[in-house]
Amino acid sequence: MNDRTDETLREQVEERRLDWALAELEGLHRPPDLTHAILQRLEQSAPQGGPVGADSSDPSRMLPKIFVAAAGLAVVALIAWSTHRGSQAPDDSSVSLPPPVLVRTPEEILRLPSDTRNLAAMDCDDAELRALRRVSHLERLELRVRRDGGSGPTEDALANLASLPKLRELALTWQRKLGDVGVRHLGSLRILESLTLSGTEVDRDGVGALARQLPQLRSLEFRILPKLGDDSLRQLAKMHWLRRLSLDGCGGVTAEGLRALGSLRQLQELRLAELNPNRSNGPNPIDDTLLATLAKLTDLQKLEIPRARLSKRAVATLCTFPALRGLDLSGCKDIDDDAVRCLLEALPLQSLRLSGTSVTPSVIADLCRETTLTSLELRAEWMTPALHRQLRTLPRLGSLETGQD
């Protein structure tokens, strides 16, 4: 066989790489690359003194051998790969957590089983936070402070959280004492994936500390942070590893700061709500121009922009989000029947919120033709029990909110 035939055989082996099939079988985990092993096996089986196929007068005889070798190696590799993965410890993040245990007193904390995994502690002070160190299996923790004047731990006491090596989710709710110093203590939580800060004094420096110290963070939620401004968002934009971001009731941010979020290219979920300066129910600063900036987020699967100042022309921009499956346009006054029809034609939406828009009963027929919708919210003055029943005929609909339930 000449060099050209030998090269052709090698190209056929390359083209038949089994990586893709193994990856699909293994849930998209990267499998071993078999190409080198296959070629090496062929070299070993070739006659001495020549390359693969040099002693064959019929090139077609070599192809079955190639495929048999490839199949054999594939089976061995798949078994070995599956056995290796099966012997590893299961990923705790894939296991659903039990409902949270609610504690209010130091005595209740001391009675907690050491293997408690999900906990909500009300008005936890420094001493109680130290007592939590014995609950070393905690994976999710919420520290709540009563909004009407409850107490909470000091910033330095948050250093005790470093004694919780399995903590993946942390929510600090109405922690008025929490500022930038306390946030820096969170840097010791090396596997923390989800963080919620509500009603705290965190500002630009605190957000910068999060960006420097928590590169493993995937979900970040800010609620009613009065000191959060555009400088904070520019720090937040450095967290390019985020998958989920929610800004709710952070009235110090403007469209200028929000434009920086266009650099978070790995975002899959984004919520921007009640971002008007007075933190009331007025329109947030999302408009057509800002939406065009966010169109860079091509991995975005869910977008929540209630009461955004969008025109009907903004629908063309929404249709360019290739992965979008969930959309909240509630309170967007200019979204009408035609806008919704365009969205339904362009996107296989699974979740849609349209309460407070300008849609009319004529859009019901369009919605009822959708086969992908699993969740729909459409509260309107014109909604009737009959229209509600009509929407109920959607084949995959699981959740329906119309006010006519």
What domains can be seen in the chain, in order of their start residue? 3-88 (no CATH), 310-405 (3.80.10.10)
Task: Return d(Cα 37, Cα 56) in angstroms, integer.
Answer: 22
In the structure encoding, which two tokens stand for residue 399, read together? 């959740």
pLDDT digits (tens, 9 = 90+) for 274-317: 887 555 555 678 999 999 999 999 999 999 999 999 998 999 99
Tokens representing 368 are 């009822």
Give residue 23's Cα distance to chain centre: 22
Give CA–CA dist 237/257, Å, rounded.
Answer: 9
CA 29 from centroid of its chain's CA atoms: 18
Assess contact for 249 and 278: CB atoms under 8 A: no
Phi-psi region for residue 27, left (φ > 0), alpha (ψ -120 to 50) or beta? left
Q: Tell me which of 373 and 178 has the higher pLDDT.
A: 373
What was the pLDDT predicted at 278?
56
Region 87-113: mean pLDDT is 74
Share of the chain above pLDDT 70, in %: 74
Amino acid in position 285: P
Taking residues 150-177, report their average pLDDT: 90
**What is the distance between the alpha carbons of residues 135 and 88, in angstroms, rounded to a whole number?**
25
Distance CA 221, CA 18 (A): 41
Residues of the chain with pLDDT > 90, as a percent, come to 63
Report how far apart, in Å, the C-alpha atoms of 266 and of each of 216, 219, 238, 262, 323 are: 13, 11, 12, 10, 12
Residues 191-225 have pLDDT tens digits of: 999 999 999 999 999 999 999 999 999 999 999 99
> Average per-residue pLDDT in the chain?
81
Question: 342: helix, coil or strand?
Answer: helix
What amino acid is encoded at 16 in this protein? R
The contacts of residue 157 (CB under 8 Å, 6+ apart) are: 125, 126, 129, 130
pLDDT of residue 144: 92
pTM of the model: 0.75
Examine the pLDDT at 377 and tell me if it is beyond 80. yes
Question: Tokens 């022309």 label which residue?
Answer: 313
Amino acid letter for position 235:
Q
* Of residues 136, 153, 245, the one with CA closest to residue 196: 245
Residue 243 is predicted with a pLDDT of 98
Tell me: the pLDDT tens digits for 9-65? 444 444 443 343 333 333 443 344 444 444 454 455 444 444 444 444 454 455 444
First to last CA, the chain: 76
Quick one: pLDDT at residue 77?
Answer: 46
- Residue 281 has a pLDDT of 55
The single-letter code of the amino acid at 275 is L
Task: Quote the crossing angle between the two packed helices 3-15 and 35-45, to the nearest 10°.
Answer: 140
pLDDT score of 192: 97
What tokens were used for 164? Answer: 């919780």
Nearest Cα to Cα of residue 138 among 153, 119, 157, 159? 119
Tokens of 180: 């930038």
Residue 106's SS3 state is: helix
Parallel, antiparallel, or unpaired: how do β-strands 302-304 and 284-287 relate?
unpaired
Residues 332/358, Cβ–Cβ less than 8 Å: no
Q: Residue 150 has what pLDDT?
A: 65
Q: Looking at the DSSP assignment, which residues form a beta bridge with residue 304?
A: 271, 328
375 or 72, which is more confident?
Answer: 375
402 or 18, which is more confident? Answer: 402
